[in-house]
Structure 1
Amino acid sequence: MTSTIGGPGQVLDEAYVARWVEEQVAAEHLDGKRVCVIVPDATRSCPLPMLMTALHTALHGRAAAVTVLIALGTHAPMTEAQLRKHLGGPYPGFTVRNHDQDSLVSVGVIPADRVKRLSDGRMSQEVDVVLNRAVTEHDVCLVVGPVFPHEVVGFSGGNKYFVPGVAGEEIIDFSHWLGALITSASIIGTRGITPVRALIDQAAALIPSRRLALCLVVQSGTGALHAASFGPPEESWAACADVSAETHVQYLDAPVAKVISIVPAKYDDMWTGAKGFYKVEPVVADGGQVIVYAPHITTIAAMHPEIEEIGYHCRDYFLKQWDRFAHHHWGVLAHSTHLRGAGTYDATHGERLRVTVTLATGIPEEVVRRANLDHLDPAAVDLADPGALVVPNAGEVLFRLR
């Protein structure tokens, strides 16, 4: 049974949401149960302090144990100070942990023939579903997190908090490369069950614990909520994805030649700040330019230095030279293609790219150019450029053509 409140254009009262969350959790009769609450890191807009307070009221003294697990996916661990700011609290009786790659267990295997069907024939090898062992050591897994247009899966949220959120590297790489094969521009903001979503749902179904989700539609850049849905992950995610599609997508009548994406401070390297490109690529004209403006970013990928060796290239650059690149982490290859965007490659003409990607960041120019991207001094960027589409707080709202 799924309960949903709010909708497109609405802003929900925080006190009302808190009471509703407490009521939904109480109705699940979790007394005596061990509960793993899986939440996003700070790269997502989400009013976690309010939600965590409501969950603490509903579970403290009732649940046998509560572990709050940060779904890092491919992101860096959060420090104690960052966690206090991110979650609020303290929450007596709750244990807070970062997901890490040393606490993993297999929950089962998706056979190759099933993978082939789920991926529409794009991939056909078995996938070992390796997740943080906390999902098997608790009676109930409760996902709490927002739904936004997403470059790998279509819309984020729901079971995505299991894969890649608290998953092992192999299935993270596999799912991201499947998205890259489809391409970011093709899958981002796609409603319904995309091949990557189908794979993720199949993986989550192997988890032995009961699964619930509190999915949210958050006003980008704030903690305000447009909508929330509680119930099985598949159903609560679908309800919020429908609202997100009407809330987090802006439509333009014609392509633009230049975009300036102003990346907020919550993205602290290009691995996460690249969302400033993903969300605008669909509206850039052929031969156009995206300037990713982020003076605060000083590194490409703190957790994935391999990307500096590989550089940023279109999908076909890798596919047509697969013997050169297959041994690299496929998730890194996927990130590379997502930020470089559409293009072609052949041995005669080399790589031809649809748009120019320019970093106006604190990353040294030689590092940027070595990674196959253009460089611009942030001081030279006119944030009021009348010839550009200037996107403040870039990274969550998707721009598409009508």
Structure 2
Amino acid sequence: MDVDLDYAGKTHTVHLPTDATVKILEPRKITRDKTDSQLIQGALHSPINAENFDTFIAQYESFLVIVNDHARSTPTATILKEVLPYLEEKDFKIIVASGTHIQPTKDILRTTIFKDLYPKLKDKILLHDAKESATVKIGHTSRGTPIRLNNVIKDFEAFIPINSIEPHYFAGYTGGRKSFMPGIAAYESIESNHSMALQESARILRLKGNPLHEDLEEAIAMFLEDHPTFAINAVLDGEGKIIQTFAGDIIEQLYHGAKLARDIYAPEIEEKADILLSVVHAPLDKNLYQAQKGLENCKFAVKDGGIFILISECKEGIGPPDYQEMLASGETLDELYDIFKKRVERYELGWHKVGSIPEFLKTKDFWMVTTLSQDTATKIHVKPFYSIQKAVNEAIMKKGKEATIVIVKDSGNIAPQATSKT
């Protein structure tokens, strides 16, 4: 059996044994009968638990539009084209909500985020830096998270966050409240909230009962008390096309969008995999920090003793320096895990990702097809391969030609749900 997989900008044909049981997972295809404009305008004029967009805009003179950075596949320019005509007579700025990500360059702003709108908007664009931007205090959540957001919010009457909703491995889903937290939040706010990712109930596809999500929701509810907000969130298919748009109440619309996102991105499998190929698509394949979503989303679909192969180019390397230092802080997996357990009491941002790897490797193998050097991969306890076929061949040698193989395309967004516990 031959399967085509996308990796490093090319399509690679992978040969699999004819005796193997192969399951290929990808986002569910949904046929739409409306254009992008019709879907967006429909949401603006029929919002969830809110007045329509025209009425909202008419009440205020200044607006802060909040958009995602290049680490997300949100069709920002497409949505902005529908929103900007409403703001022609208004004072507005657009802030790129990078959270703790590296700020986008001018080239990325032009080619990836704003596209052909960039020349018109370049003087209205603001960038958020979680460590350096001045912030204003909103309050504290009941779980103790300090809510500090970019100081620029004081300059505007109303807010228009633009986002997209996909499964997220510890927040349950992206979108909605994440435009503000972590989007334009202070580092200390993000770190406090993300410490809850260490809790078992902070997991993919879960909103109710997820402490991290509930903390975010409480934070945004406090913000909404004094800051009128009209949110716009899209749900995309696996090709990046808008399937539906939700607008209005930033809290309520997330639950509506999450149902559709689950339907598209959470396929069921009857049997867990002996070998799982997790194929990370752009833009999440740029470094391991982002590509790790392909591990977190799919790790529950592998049998104990199974082999997990993360396929991600990582042309920008590991990711943030502190994340790389954390991964390399233990010479052995046991040492890294011991360090992680101690950090649970003294949490620093990033350890929720780092601790997952040695914990996973206690019962399963973790390999990568990547451009990371042998030395770099070894230091972070990953077995590297530079050919998908070679990785598959070695996995077959270990697990046998009759192995159950699950291939997850676009694993940064897909969350396979195993109906069997074994």
TM range, normalised to the smaller chain?
Answer: 0.7 to 0.9
**Which of 366, 381, 387 is residue 391 of structure 2 equivalent to?**
381
Match of 1:361 in 2: 370
| CA–CA separation in structure 2 for the residues paired with 1:142 and 1:53 | 14
Q: Deviation per CA, 1:272-306, whole angstroms, max 9, x where unpaired? A: 11111112111111121211112353511145443
Q: Which amino acid aligns with 2:342?
A: Q
Match of 1:396 in 2: 413
Secondary structure of the equivalent of 1:77? Answer: coil
| CA–CA separation in structure 1 for the residues paired with 2:312 and 2:327 | 18
TM-superposed CA distance for 1:10, in Å, is 5.0
1:154 lines up with 2:172 in the alignment: yes
TM-superposed CA distance for 1:261, in Å, is 1.6
Match of 2:16 in 1: none
Q: 1:4-15 to 2 correspondence within 5 Å? A: 9-11=30-32, 12-15=34-37
Q: Deviation per CA, 1:184-215, whole angstroms, max 9, x where unpaired? A: xx611114352111111122233232222112
Distance 1:59 1:303, change over 3 A: farther
- Structure 1 window deviating more from structure 2 (385-394 vs 263-272): it is 385-394
**Contact 2:30 2:237 (8 Å CA) reproduced:** no
Distance 1:242 1:378, change over 3 A: same
The 4+ residue runs of structure 1 with deviation greater than 4 A are 21-24, 311-316, 382-387
Match of 1:123 in 2: none
Match of 2:325 in 1: 306
**Contact 1:286 1:355 (8 Å CA) reproduced:** yes
1:51 lines up with 2:64 in the alignment: no
Distance 1:173 1:264, change over 3 A: same
**Which of 342, 349, 352 is residue 321 of structure 1 equivalent to?**
342
**Which of 135, 141, 160 is residue 105 of structure 1 equivalent to?**
135
Identical pairs, percent: 16
**Contact 1:281 1:341 (8 Å CA) reproduced:** no
Match of 2:38 in 1: 16
**Contact 1:129 1:171 (8 Å CA) reproduced:** yes
Match of 2:109 in 1: 83
| CA–CA separation in structure 1 for the residues paired with 2:179 and 2:367 | 31
Q: Which amino acid aligns with 2:391?
A: V
TM-superposed CA distance for 1:158, in Å, is 0.7
| CA–CA separation in structure 1 for the residues paired with 2:243 and 2:265 | 11
Distance 1:307 1:394, change over 3 A: same
Q: RMSD over aligned Cα, in angstroms? A: 2.9
Match of 1:188 in 2: 204
**Contact 1:56 1:91 (8 Å CA) reproduced:** no
**Contact 1:306 1:332 (8 Å CA) reproduced:** no
Match of 1:42 in 2: 70
Q: TM-score, normalised by structure 1?
A: 0.82
Match of 2:17 in 1: none
| CA–CA separation in structure 1 for the residues paired with 2:247 and 2:161 | 10
**Which of 74, 87, 95 is residue 124 of structure 2 equivalent to?**
95
| CA–CA separation in structure 2 for the residues paired with 1:233 and 1:179 | 22
Match of 2:13 in 1: none
Match of 1:142 in 2: 160
Q: 1:154-303 to 2 correspondence within 5 Å? A: 154-182=172-200, 187-192=203-208, 194-207=210-223, 208-222=226-240, 224-267=241-284, 268-302=286-320
Q: Which amino acid aligns with 1:19?
A: Q
Distance 1:210 1:191, change over 3 A: same
**Contact 2:208 2:214 (8 Å CA) reproduced:** no
TM-superposed CA distance for 1:21, in Å, is 5.6
Match of 1:69 in 2: 95
| CA–CA separation in structure 1 for the residues paired with 2:391 and 2:340 | 35
| CA–CA separation in structure 2 for the residues paired with 1:396 and 1:281 | 13
TM-superposed CA distance for 1:97, in Å, is 2.1
**Contact 1:216 1:225 (8 Å CA) reproduced:** yes
**Contact 2:56 2:230 (8 Å CA) reproduced:** no
Unpaired runs of 5+ in structure 1? 1-6, 116-125, 344-351
TM-superposed CA distance for 1:109, in Å, is 3.1
| CA–CA separation in structure 1 for the residues paired with 2:235 and 2:333 | 33
Secondary structure of the equivalent of 2:411? Answer: coil
**Contact 1:25 1:55 (8 Å CA) reproduced:** no
Secondary structure of the equivalent of 2:234? Answer: strand
**Contact 2:160 2:229 (8 Å CA) reproduced:** yes
TM-superposed CA distance for 1:308, in Å, is 4.1
| CA–CA separation in structure 2 for the residues paired with 1:129 and 1:190 | 23
| CA–CA separation in structure 2 for the residues paired with 1:194 and 1:169 | 21
Asked which structure has the greater RCO (Cα within 8 Å, sep 6+), the reply is: 2
Q: Which amino acid aligns with 1:369?
A: T
TM-superposed CA distance for 1:319, in Å, is 6.0
**Contact 1:8 1:227 (8 Å CA) reproduced:** no
TM-superposed CA distance for 1:52, in Å, is 0.9
| CA–CA separation in structure 1 for the residues paired with 2:189 and 2:35 | 38
**Contact 1:148 1:157 (8 Å CA) reproduced:** yes
TM-superposed CA distance for 1:230, in Å, is 0.9
Aligned residue pairs total 367
| CA–CA separation in structure 2 for the residues paired with 1:36 and 1:193 | 31
Q: Deviation per CA, 1:293-347, whole angstroms, max 9, x where unpaired? A: 123535111454433443697997456434xx755x6221012134x1745xxxx
**Contact 1:148 1:217 (8 Å CA) reproduced:** yes
**Contact 1:280 1:399 (8 Å CA) reproduced:** yes
Match of 1:121 in 2: none
**Contact 1:293 1:378 (8 Å CA) reproduced:** no
Unpaired runs of 5+ in structure 2? 1-27, 46-51
Distance 1:18 1:233, change over 3 A: closer
Secondary structure of the equivalent of 1:295? Answer: coil
